[in-house]
């Protein structure tokens, strides 16, 4: 059969543009022994994908996307059409990592994205398929282990979550709030700030465009913070180091403010605050904490079932618009999880 | 009585110079109730003192030294001359924090330097007084908690210690070595490198002047490192982030490479490595881990008693030469703990 896929044709320098991609039609072989054919329904846009649009990304991170080939290792949900793998049957709802294409032949048991992207069933009685790319999927694990394991969240902590209207940030902010913490959120538009205050119920929120982030944070948390959930880096990280109280912790899940720079960006000038105040900065990737998924999912599913979790997606229609969706997300133009509806 | 003290008369811009200090003669009142008069024997030079020679130092750190007044909160050992404090008698060997002067009136029980500098007896049967400013003192605690608590040293870790010929570094390197780790040390001269290899018995060592630190580190630890003990910051920290293996840890005890800069120095451009490889950076101050002192001292005293711990001091004679001693230490011109023999 013929299938459509988005291919990267050039590594962008600076901002990603539509000229970096093309949609290609390729011949898809029939599934072999141990493989399934999946009709993809939703595929994902994640900030970290920008790092994979480089010829050479950060050492130890997920591989760069190759040029003129399918973009592998992107989380996706779909429906099995044909199966030659034990345990999978036509009609099954699954998640896998062969995204940014309409149909995929996926080998069962082949590890992807550190296990997060390995072919697996999803339980659509719990939530609709697209939620498995968000609130009950990898985003939930990222938010949860960021707070619980990386930041070692403790009773009484005042928590600042950056990119708090985003897929991970909105979950992290709510998990902290539902666990009884004072939570400050920041985001990039007045509408997002309203979302943080009105729908997520955060204690304070600010638009980082409204002044130096350090000043805005001090205004929102005059007595300082104990935990910073960092998806932004740059001036946000600098502001956090200045605001953290003794024994404060930073969970570093990304640095979206730096991803589209052509030059490596310098780190904060006030890293010595870590020494002065016994601070911990801990980078983390959810894929390294897969053993925590059941516990994270249980907690999140509980909140969902009780109707206590607000969650938005920005859904862009059409595989051919996937690059556009990624660009909009990187520009801060989407709220919640950014998804592409493939079909 | 009349006493001599070093006073700061101007905050240096850039490198510290002799013009920033003077020796003043002051009238010393007789000790009041609860106080002792101490004849100081040795007083300390620590890298962190440079940060206190600023009008406004890092938030949360030890206070800046005032101008035209005694420089308080500097670790010192001496002998009690006169006592009006319970538990202290003339002839007692003590440690306290009223340094950079020949005689001090010290109030018993008054906390200083987070407890590290509070007036206390020292057991000179264990080691001579000056060692309590070094191998069995605060330096030992700094080295030990840096490795054990901040870096969470684990079996099999490959450890890089910067400033490894310094007071803290030489202890940290040896503790790691004596616990069975592969240890790489770096320092600032060929003589120091020989000291690291020949006397401390490290597995590899390099002079950071011999090329880009990242390259030198890769040469010394081709398979990467698991722990970095950071007293230097700057290019050393950048090199460590590039060399750390998954789940690696950095214990940050200082950033001496940056202390004499007039402008805040940018942090590493590769902080994202923390995300990519699940790294932890943890700043720490020994004064925050006083509860660990007995265990640290027990271990270090054991090594000392078995003659397994090499330890050097650079002793500068004369209180009036204390600024000179500090300058030499900041320039990387001293080995081991830098001390001033007051009398």
> What tens digit of pLDDT does each residue of B231-257 get?
999 999 999 999 999 999 999 999 999
Q: How many helices (H) and strands (E) does chain B have?
A: 9, 15
Q: Is the pLDDT of residue B105 over 90?
A: yes
- A76 pLDDT more than 90: yes
Per the CB < 8 Å rule, is A275 touching B267?
no
CATH says B138-287 is which class?
alpha beta
Residue A323 gets which letter from DSSP?
H
Q: What is the mean pLDDT of chain B?
A: 95
pLDDT band at A305 (very low <50, low <70, confident <90, very high): confident
Q: Which residues of B318-330 are buried (b: 16+ CB within 10 A; e: fewer)?
A: ebebbbbbbbbbb
CB contact under 8 A, A58 and B272: yes
The pLDDT value given to residue B301 = 84
Contact state of A283 with B268 under an 8 Å Cβ cutoff: no
Q: Is the pLDDT of residue B297 over 90?
A: no
Termini Cα distance of chain B: 16
Residues of chain B with Cβ-Cβ distance to A60 below 8 Å are 246, 273, 276-277
The whole-number average pLDDT for the span A68-79 is: 96
Lowest mean pLDDT among A23-37, A188-202, A297-311, B183-197: A297-311
Give whole-number Cα distances, A130 to A137, A302, A321, B121, B290, in Å: 9, 18, 17, 67, 51
Q: In angstroms, rounded to a whole number, what is the distance separating the alpha carbons of residues B70 and B242? A: 43
Instruction: Residue A331: name the closest of A166, A184, A100 by CA.
Output: A166
Residue A213: partners with Cβ closer than 8 Å, 6 or more residues away: A186, A235, A236, A238, A239
Determine the distance in angstroms separating the CA of B120 from the nearest CA of chain A, rounded to an integer: 24
Among left, alpha and beta (phi > 0; psi -120 to 50; other), residue B290 is alpha
- How does residue A114 score in pLDDT terms, banded at 50, 70 and 90? confident
Residues B272, A255: C-beta atoms closer than 8 Å: yes
Chain A nearest-CA residue for B238: A267
- How far apart CA A122 and CA A130 sit, in angstroms, is 10
The pLDDT of residue A145 is 98
Of the partner residues A265, A266, A278, the one whose CB lies closest to the CB of residue B285: A278
Mutation target for A interface from B49, B60, B214, B233: give the one with most A CBs within 10 A. B60
A227-243 pLDDT, tens digit each: 999 999 999 999 999 99
**A272/B283 CB distance under 8 A:** yes
Question: Rounded distance, CA B337 to CA B343, Å?
Answer: 18
**pLDDT per position as a tens digit, A140-159:** 999 999 999 999 999 999 99
Q: pLDDT digit string (tens) for B64-100?
A: 999 999 999 999 999 999 999 999 999 999 999 999 9
As a whole number, mean pLDDT of residues A183-212 equals 98
C-alpha torsion A141→A146→A150→A155, nearest 10: -110
Q: Give the HSE-up count for residue B233: Cα atoms under 13 Å, Cβ half-sphere.
A: 25
Nearest-Cα residue of chain A relative to residue B282:
A280
Which is it for the CA torsion A321, A322, A325, A331, positive or negative? negative
Spatial CB neighbours of A37, under 8 Å, sequence gap ≥ 6: A28, A30, A31, A80, A81, A82, A83, A103, A104, A105, A106
Pairwise CB contact (< 8 Å): B276 & A59 = yes
Spatial distance between the Cα atoms of B143 and A242, rounded to a whole number of angstroms: 26
CA distances B271 to A64, A67, A106, A268, Å, are 19, 27, 35, 9
Question: Smallest Cα–Cα separation from A3: which of A87, A91, A105, A71?
Answer: A105
Report yes or no: A243 and A160 within 8 Å, Cβ to Cβ: yes
Cβ pair B275:A281 closer than 8 A: no
A2-133+312-341: which CATH number, 3.40.1710.10, 3.30.830.10, 3.90.180.10, 3.30.9.90? 3.90.180.10
3-state secondary structure of A43: strand
Cα–Cα distance for residue pair A153/A182, rounded to 1 Å? 12
Q: Note whether B146 and B229 are within 8 A (CB).
A: yes
Are B278 and A264 a contacting pair at CB < 8 A? no
Q: What percent of chain B stands above pLDDT 70?
A: 100
Beta-carbon contacts of B259 under 8 Å, excluding residues fewer than 6 positions away, are B47, B50, B51, B330
Confidence of residue A245 (pLDDT cuts 50, 70, 90): very high
Instruction: Give the β-pairing of A313-317 and A337-341.
Output: parallel
pLDDT confidence band for B135 (50 / 70 / 90): confident
In the predicted model, what is the mean pLDDT of chain A?
A: 95
Tell me how far apart the alpha carbons of residues B182 and A323 are, in angstroms, rounded to a whole number.
47
Provide the residue ranges of all domains of chain B, joining segments of one domain with +: 2-131+312-341, 138-287
Q: Do A252 and B274 touch (CB under 8 A)?
A: yes
Which homologous superfamily does the CATH classification assign to the domain defined by B2-131+312-341?
Medium-chain alcohol dehydrogenases, catalytic domain (3.90.180.10)
pLDDT over 90 at A136, yes or no: no
Enumerate chain A positions whose Cβ falls within 8 A of a Cβ in B.
51, 58-61, 233, 237, 242, 246, 252-255, 258, 264-285, 288
**Contact check, Cβ <8 Å, A283/B274:** yes
Tell which residue, A250, A196, A254, has the closest CA to residue A226: A250
At residue A265, φ and ψ (nearest 5 deg) are -95, 135
- Cβ contact (<8 Å) for A254 and B269? no
Q: For B255-291, what is each residue's pLDDT tens digit?
A: 999 998 888 899 999 999 999 999 999 999 999 999 9
List chain A residues with CB under 8 Å of B276: 58-61, 283, 285
- DSSP state for residue B30 in the 8-state scheme: P
Supply the pLDDT for residue B93. Answer: 98
Partner-chain contact B270 A264, CB within 8 Å: yes
Contacts with B251 from chain A: Cβ below 8 Å: none
> What are the residues of chain B with a beta carbon less than 8 Å away from any beta carbon of chain A?
51, 58-61, 233, 237, 242, 246, 252-255, 258, 264-285, 288
pLDDT surpassing 90 at residue A127: no
- CB B283 to CB A285 under 8 A? no
Measured in degrees and rounded to the nearest 5, phi and psi for residue B15 equal: -70, 140
C-alpha dist (Å) from residue A64 to A57, A74, B318: 6, 12, 61
How many angstroms separate the most distant Cα atoms in chain A?
62
> Is residue B14 very low, low, confident or very high in pLDDT (cuts 50, 70, 90)?
confident
Give the closest residue to A41 by CA, choosing from A337, A319, A320, A326.
A319
CA distance A76 to chain B (A): 22
Q: Locate A279 and state its tokens.
A: 């601070």
Neighbours of A19 (CB within 10 A): 10
pLDDT above 90 for A211: yes
pLDDT single digits (tens) B112-133: 988 889 999 999 988 899 999 9
Instruction: Name the closest residue on chain B to residue A151, using Cα atoms.
Output: B280
Q: Do B60 and A268 count as a contact with CB atoms less than 8 A apart?
A: no
Closest chain B residue by Cα to residue A52: B276
Q: Is B178 exposed, middle or buried (0-12, 13-18, 19+ CB in 10 A)?
A: middle
Q: Which of A273, A265, A269 is nearest to B261 (CA)?
A: A269
Q: Smallest Cβ distance to A275: which of B273, B278, B283?
A: B283
Predicted ipTM? 0.95
Would you state the structure tokens that stand for residue A160, as one six-digit string? 């600042």
Mutate to test the interface with A, among B283, B286, B288, B290 (most CBs of A within 10 A): B283
A272: Cα separation from own chain's centroid: 29
| B interface test, pick of A283, A284, A285 with most B CB neighbours within 10 Å | A283
**Where do the H-state alpha helices sit in chain A?**
49-52, 138-145, 167-178, 190-194, 213-220, 234-243, 273-276, 293-305, 322-330
Give the side-chain half-sphere CA count within 13 A for B173: 32
Secondary structure in 3-state letters for B213-256? HHHHHHHHCCCCEEEEEECCCHHHHHHHHHHEEEEEEEEECCCH
- Nearest-by-Cβ selection for A285 from B59, B278, B281: B278
Residue B43 pLDDT = 97
* % of chain B at pLDDT higher than 90: 90
CA B11 to CA B179: how far, in whole Å? 42
Of A60, A275, A283, the CB nearest to B254: A275
Instruction: Return the DSSP state at B110.
Output: -
Contacts of B254 in chain A (CB under 8 A): 272, 275
């Amino acid at each position: 059969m013929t299938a459509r896929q988005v291919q990267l044709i050039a590594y962008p320098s600076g901002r990603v543009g539509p000229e970096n991609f093309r949609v290609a039609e390729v011949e898809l072989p029939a599934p072999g022994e141990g493989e399934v054919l999946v009709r993809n329904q939703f595929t994902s846009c994640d900030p970290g994908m920008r790092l994979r649009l480089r010829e050479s990304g950060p050492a130890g991170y997920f591989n760069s996307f190759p040029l003129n080939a399918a973009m592998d290792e992107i989380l996706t949900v779909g429906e099995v059409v044909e199966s030659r793998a034990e345990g999978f049957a036509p009609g099954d709802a699954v998640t896998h990592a062969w995204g940014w294409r309409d149909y995929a032949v996926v080998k069962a048991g082949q590890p992807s994205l550190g296990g997060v992207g390995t072919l697996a069933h999803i339980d659509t009685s719990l939530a609709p398929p697209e939620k498995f790319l968000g609130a009950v999927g990898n985003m939930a694990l990222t938010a949860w282990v960021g707070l619980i394991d990386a930041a070692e969240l403790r009773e009484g902590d005042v928590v600042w979550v950056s990119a708090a209207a985003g897929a991970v940030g909105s979950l992290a902010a709510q998990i902290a709030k539902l666990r009884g913490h004072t939570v400050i959120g920041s985001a990039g538009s007045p509408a997002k700030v309203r979302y943080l205050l009105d729908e997520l119920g955060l204690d304070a929120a600010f638009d980082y465009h409204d002044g130096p982030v350090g000043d805005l944070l001090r205004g929102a948390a005059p007595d300082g913070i104990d935990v910073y959930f960092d998806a932004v880096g740059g001036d946000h990280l600098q502001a956090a180091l200045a605001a953290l109280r003794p024994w404060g912790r930073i969970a570093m899940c990304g640095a979206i403010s730096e991803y589209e720079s052509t030059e490596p960006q310098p780190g904060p000038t006030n890293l010595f605050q870590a020494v002065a105040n016994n601070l911990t900065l801990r980078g983390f990737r959810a894929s390294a904490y897969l053993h925590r998924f059941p516990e994270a999912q249980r907690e999140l599913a509980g909140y969902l079932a009780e109707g206590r979790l607000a969650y938005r997606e920005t859904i862009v229609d059409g595989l051919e618009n996937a690059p556009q969706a990624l660009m909009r997300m990187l520009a801060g133009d989407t709220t919640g999880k950014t998804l592409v509806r493939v079909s």
